[in-house]
Amino acid sequence: MNEMNEFFIKTEDLYASYEEDDGKRVQVLCGISLGIKKGEYVAVLGHNGSGKSTFAKLLNMIHMPDSGKIYIDGVDITSDEMTERDIYDIRRKVGMVFQNPDNQLVATIVEEDVAFGPENLGIPSDEIRKRVDEALQIVGMTEYARHEPHRLSGGQKQRVAIAGIIAMMPDCMIFDESTAMLDPIGRREVMETIDMLRREKGITVINITHHMNEAVRADRVIVLNDGKVYMDGTPEEIFGEPYKLELAGLEVPQCTALIQELRRKGYKITGECTTPEKCAALLANFIGGGANG
Amino acid sequence: MAEIRLENVSYVYSEGTPYEISALDDINVCIKSGSVTGIIGHTGSGKSTLVQMLNGLVKPSAGKVLLDGEDIWEKPKEIGKIRAKVGLVMQYPEYQLFEETIRADIAFGPKNMGIDEKEIGERVLEAADFVGLAHDLLDKSPFDLSGGQKRRAAIAGIIAMRPEVLVLDEPAAGLDPSGREMIMKSIMGYKARTGATIVIVSHSMEDMAKYCDELIVLSSGKLLMSGKKEEVFGRSEELTSVGLDVPQITKMMNLLTKMGIPVSDSVYTVDDALNEIYKLL
Amino acid sequence: MKNISLGQYYPGNSAVHRADPRMKLIFSFLYIICSFLCSNILSFVLLLFSAVLLIFVSRIPMGLIMRSIKPILFILAFTVVINIFWTSGETVLFEWRFIHIYLEGVMNAIFIVLRIFVLIVGASLFLTYTTTPIALTDAIEQLFAPLKKIKIPVHEFAMMMTIALRFIPTLIDETDKIMSAQKARGADFTSGSLIKRAKALIPILIPLFVSSFRRADELATAMECRCYHGGEGRTRMSILHYRASDFVWLFIMIAFGASIIALNILSIGYSM
């Protein structure tokens, strides 16, 4: 029981598959066993078809696994005893933001959309009002409360979608390639919002992404490949193995690649090199130190 | 072997209504024959409008678009010919697939050009080879393919028209790293084999640095700068001042310069950076 | 295409704009009934006067109202012609060969035109021009909520309307993009025979359908993730509340209906 309290999400030997139109079964996940702690910020990497989206959809009961167990906040969600009410409770606790900003907004007015989740939960009107105002403030969209979503930019739409989840007061938020369709400004808006949610709300974050520069911001990076956990560690550890990443169809950030190449050539550079700032400091120190020595 | 020149080109949306917005303002720029030209700018900087002007989908409110010195709007009835010469791959082109088979979909463009059946067949195979689509996929429905395959099929649909200028609006958006690389390599392969001029719009400065030799930078409908990639990335402060990025490695090298370490300020690939660092070690 | 606005909502803050959308829904219904009850000149004058007053109070430009009448101008003209030439009566105004025009016919034509005019003014002023489509959807959902008891899916209907309103601009945008993409591949939508042109729409319609289904699928998943499970047990953030002014409106409406009926009974002047 202690172990269950330690992990907010825990999966044991998960197998999942789906059926294609021609009836062929495709195995997507082959034995995933993971534990994610409360408040942890996890990036999940993997090429298209590596099973990362399926994994996310298992966590809030949109899909069901073929076998294996999933515990959310200590509750076994794969159990037959889950009632409809229990399912809504899991979906409230584990909120999800998707890739296409257009296809997840329901209402024609921003604040009405943010209210959609709490309304479904049957929360009293004045409480919804409070939550909506707070959620919009957190994502910085208060001044757009009465706007129509289709006139917003991609980044703004995603922030509205995030507010819609926040208003349900989740413990965990999953971002399923939520920045893939955004331009750099929109991407920055969303990433900063995620950082803030972590800081101020202590929400557990799972960010599924292709962008290595986003993965660098997480506490922990999990790489999925062929339906299995291929790598699992801190960003520094993961990007320290560029060749292994390339085998999984991924690449490392340019700065990390540079330092790794220098290390491979035998230069002993130690320290973190995932961002330009850290990398420059590392190199300046090394070159300076090298010149002195 | 085709050059596109924009002369004093402007574009105004909803002209004469209260919603009037100037999307492009007095643009003068030349896309050199046989170059790989990148277009950089924010959403709303006018780059999508500019791209759609190159093949006559959008007609400038003022100014001229010259293809090999000839005004493409000289004979508006023949704009179809321009569209075959200047192939445009729009954003998320996989959403335009509609035929029953990939083969028929790739053939749609050439068929509209009035090419005979036999040649269409050859062109379809050739285009599929360029983008690396296995021939046994050609008789499948577009909707049975993976995302990356669909994207490549859609690009093949433009390549089958054998354009002299191939324009791509964010060809790699939303793909994973290996998907991105595959798309970029097919485009470069087409260029190498046919000598076509390539125009790419992308938000990825790393890709721009890797593949382009010329860059055009747009900001709020105006031409901010244009020229060789070295010149443009050399002005990284101007780029960052309008909120655009430079490649991560360029950012890092600029930081080193600021710290007083003598490295070149025009580095935008990992290999160049390594060479610079080796000089110091 | 970015600036399309749905419905014909004309932003404003007039007394009509501020009235409760449910009341407005009821009013437009009553107003239409009243316009049919009118059967003599006096009641017609009152009806016309009320319409003009309504335009004045709502501060909707006259031009806008005229524009909404435009599409039915043909039907209007048609009914006028039918009434003038085919109504027989006692007072002959004009006679030429087989054409007989009677006073009754002319009067009938005038009344019909006026009635349709008032009908449109009433419905558009109370509803489309002064109420946003969303408010209207809410009004329908809350006003007809009792019908849920007899298994009429009121909530589902309102939800469908909301989603439609939300996605129409998105789909218009998408159509625009697909058209451009096919044009870039040499598709021609403007020339050729009717059949050829209809065929040319296939490359637009298929991608549009496919993407609509994809969107619907994704939206359904997103809604599930946000605990949507139909109308049962669902609360609303904004609940409509009747205010004192709404009852003033109601009183005016009842008084208006009563006057029309009274004027009909008095039957002074021309009676239809």
DSSP per residue, A209-249: -S-HHHHTTSSEEEEEETTEEEEEE-HHHHHT-HHHHHHTT
Q: How far apart are CA B165 and CA B132, in angstroms?
A: 20
ipTM of the predicted structure? 0.90
Name residue, tokens 């655009």. Answer: B244
Q: Which among B83, B91, B143 has the least Cβ separation from residue C186?
A: B83
Interface of B with C in 156-185 (CB under 8 A): 157-158, 161
Average of per-residue pLDDT values in chain B: 91
Query: Which residues are CB-contacts of C77 (< 8 A; sequence separation ≥ 6)?
Result: none
Cα B18 to Cα B25: distance, rounded to the nearest angstrom: 18
Residues above pLDDT 90, as percent of chain C:
18
How far is it, in rounded angstroms, from Cα A113 to Cα C101? Answer: 60
Q: Are residues B170 and B211 in the same domain?
A: yes
Q: Mind telling me how many Å the CA of C12 is from chain B's nearest CA?
A: 18
Same domain membership, residue B62 and residue B19? yes
Asked if B55 and B193 sit in the same domain, the reply is: yes
Q: Using alpha carbons, select from C80, C101, C84 the residue that is nearest to residue C92.
A: C101
Cβ(B254)–Cβ(A242) below 8 Å = no
Average pLDDT estimate for A253-282 = 87
Residue C240, CA atoms < 13 Å, CB-side half-sphere:
20
Same domain, B267 and B192: no
**Is C20's pLDDT higher than 80?**
yes
Q: Is A116 on the interface with C (CB under 8 A)?
A: yes
B117 and B41 co-located in one domain: yes
Inter-chain CB proximity B252 and A183 less than 8 Å: no
A47, A184, A254 member nearest B249 (Cβ): A254
pLDDT digits (tens, 9 = 90+) for C216-253: 999 999 999 999 998 888 898 988 888 888 888 888 88
- Tell me, yes or no, whether B180 and B264 share the same domain: no
- Position C1 confidence tier, pLDDT thresholds 50, 70, 90: very low
Domain count, chain B: 2
Q: What is the pLDDT of residue C160?
A: 92
A169 and chain C in contact, CB less than 8 A: no
Contact B270 A257 (CB under 8 A): yes
Q: Which residue has the higher pLDDT, B13 or B222?
A: B222
Q: Report the C-alpha gap between B252 and B258 in whole angstroms.
A: 10
Interface residue of A120, A169, A172 to substitute, partner C, most C CBs within 10 Å: A120
Residue B88 contacts C, CB cutoff 8 Å: yes
Residue type for C223, please? M
pLDDT at B151: 95
Does B161 share its domain with B254? no
**Dihedral angle, C-alpha A58, A64, A66, A71, nearest 10 °:** 60
| Cα–Cα distance for residue pair B155/B96, rounded to 1 Å | 11
Q: What confidence score (pLDDT) does residue C267 get? A: 63
Neighbour order of strands in the sheet with B70-71: B21-31, B4-13, B62-67, B70-71
Q: Do C225 and A91 touch (CB under 8 A)?
A: yes
Q: Which of C237, C239, C241 to mutate to test the interface with A (most CBs of A within 10 A)?
A: C237
> Where does the pLDDT of residue A141 fall: very low under 50, low under 70, confident under 90, or very high at 90 and above?
very high
Whether residues B162 and B205 fall in one domain? yes
Same domain for B157 and B276? Answer: no
When CB atoms are compared, the residue of B174, B178, B281 closest to A249 is: B178
Task: Output A77 or C107, whichever has higher pLDDT.
Answer: A77
| Residue B146 domain flag | yes
What are the boundaries of each domain within chain A?
39-65+81-243, 253-293
Cα separation, B246 vs C43, in Å, equals 75
Mean pLDDT of chain A: 90
The 3-state DSSP class for residue B148 equals: helix
Share of chain C above pLDDT 70, in %: 95
Give the integer Cα–Cα distance in Å for C3 and C141: 28
- Please give the pLDDT value at position B222: 94
pTM for the complete prediction? 0.87
In 3-state terms, what secondary structure has residue B240? helix
Give the per-residue pLDDT at A289.
62
pLDDT surpasses 60 at C272: no
Q: What is residue B18's predicted lDDT score, i.e. its pLDDT?
A: 64
B23 closest CA partner among B48, B56, B4, B55: B48
Residues 6+ apart with CB under 8 A from C44: C38, C111, C114
User: In this predicted model, what pLDDT tens digit does every residue of A38-82 receive, in sequence order?
Assistant: 999 999 999 888 889 899 999 999 999 999 999 999 999 999 889
As given in the structure block, the two tokens for residue A181 are 């369709």
Is residue B212 domain-resident?
yes
* Out of A48, A186, A261, closest to residue B176 by CB: A48
Residues of the domain holding B257:
247-281
pLDDT at B4 over 90: yes
Tell me, yes or no, if B115 comes closer than 8 A to chain C by beta carbon.
Answer: no
Name the minimum distance, in Å, from the CA of C135 to any CA of chain B. 26
The pLDDT of residue A175 is 97
Contact criterion met (CB below 8 Å) for B9 and B60: yes
Section A145-155 average pLDDT: 90
pLDDT at A292 over 70: no
Q: Each residue of A179-201: pLDDT tens digit?
A: 999 988 899 999 999 999 998 88
B206 and B278 in a common domain? no
B264 in the same domain as B188 = no
- Calpha distance A145→A122 (Å, rounded): 21
The answer to whether residues B95 and B218 belong to one domain is yes
3-class SS of residue A63 = coil
Angle between helices A254-264 and B248-258 (to 10 degrees): 70
How far is C38 from A84, CA to CA, in rounded Å? 56
Which chain C residues have a beta carbon less than 8 Å from that of A95?
225-226
Check which CATH number belongs to the domain holding B201 and give it.
Answer: 3.40.50.300
Size of interface A-B (CB pairs under 8 A): 92
Burial (Cβ within 10 Å: 0-12, 13-18, ≥19) of residue B12: middle
Domain A39-65+81-243 has CATH 3.40.50.720: no
- DSSP for residue C125: I
